[in-house]
Amino acid sequence: MRLDNEELFKFFQSKDIQVLYHANTTQTSVTYFNQNGLLSRGAVENLGLRQTKQSSDEADKILNVWNDVFLDSTDLHSYFGRQNYYGPILFEFDIELIKDYQYEIWITKNNPIYWNKDTPLEERYFQNIAELNNDWGKYSTQKKMITIRNNTSPILFEYVRRVVVDDPRVKIDDEIRLFNETAKIINENVSDGHILKGKFKIRECVNCWCRDNYLNQVGVIDLKRLFLQ
Ligand SMILES: [Zn+2]
């Protein structure tokens, strides 16, 4: 169910949630940089632009979330002490975004990868602000995805506070420092005068498994898929 934007904004204020987060790969982020905003996977496809394939793509179409943009209310990398599985580039949006009535916002009760086509709407989404108020604490933070539905045009970067990028500090092919390549791609696509210029920050981790995972678990093919174009 669509939630009233102004009421939702007040709800997030009551929970002291100031920022919404969206993580993605470098390749998909470059499309966002060039379009000056986030887009749903369906919108990227319709516009004929590039994005990294995701294993959930086919299911997303069946479950009717293909045209939705997904945001988290928590920085899941910091929260879990590991890399974000959707990619190393994290866009941080000011909560003011919520107030914009052009955005149709629904909040999930679980990640759609756990839905099937028969999952009823009331199990998929919070139904209203009263239910949010009553049950917000009943669901784990990563299950509550703030979705901007039926998105066809860029969710503009005017609300972006900063963009945080992981540096896995790994070399690939024995010589290239992966992050140098990522930084080069970002610089080539975010020129002087771009709304995101000066907003990038390299992530600093404390007690985090991301480096260990990037080094020992992710593998070169996936590192390239996540960090390169
Ligand atoms: Zn980390």
Total domain count for the chain?
A: 1
- pTM (whole model) above 0.75: yes
pLDDT of residue 175: 84
Instruction: Give residue 122 CA to ligand 1 midpoint distance, Å.
Output: 35
Instruction: Give residue 170 CA to ligand 1 midpoint distance, Å.
Output: 13
- The pLDDT tens digits of the residues spanning 61-83 come to 999 999 999 999 999 999 999 99
Q: Say how many Å lie between the first and final Cα of the chain, rounded.
A: 36
pLDDT of residue 174: 81
- The pLDDT tens digits of the residues spanning 4-23 come to 999 999 999 999 999 999 99
Measured between alpha carbons, how far is 163 from 127 in angstroms, rounded to an integer?
A: 31
Instruction: Give residue 227 CA to ligand 1 midpoint distance, Å.
Output: 15
Q: Which percentage of the chain shows pLDDT scores above 90? A: 95
Q: Which of these, 56, 52, 86, lies nearest to 72 by C-alpha position?
A: 86
Q: Please identify every residue whose CB atom is under 5 Å from ligand 1, which is an ion.
A: 205, 208, 210
Numbers of helices and strands, H then E, in the chain: 10, 11
Eight-class DSSP state of 125 = B
* Tokens coding 64: 């009717």
Confidence of residue 88 (pLDDT cuts 50, 70, 90): very high
Instruction: Give residue 168 CA to ligand 1 midpoint distance, Å.
Output: 8
**Single-letter amino acid code for the residue at 178:** L
Q: Residue 141's domain spans which residues?
A: 5-227
* Strand runs labelled E in the chain: 19-24, 37-38, 69-72, 89-94, 104-107, 145-149, 155-156, 160-165, 171-172, 176-177, 200-202
Q: What is the CA radius of gyration of the chain?
A: 18
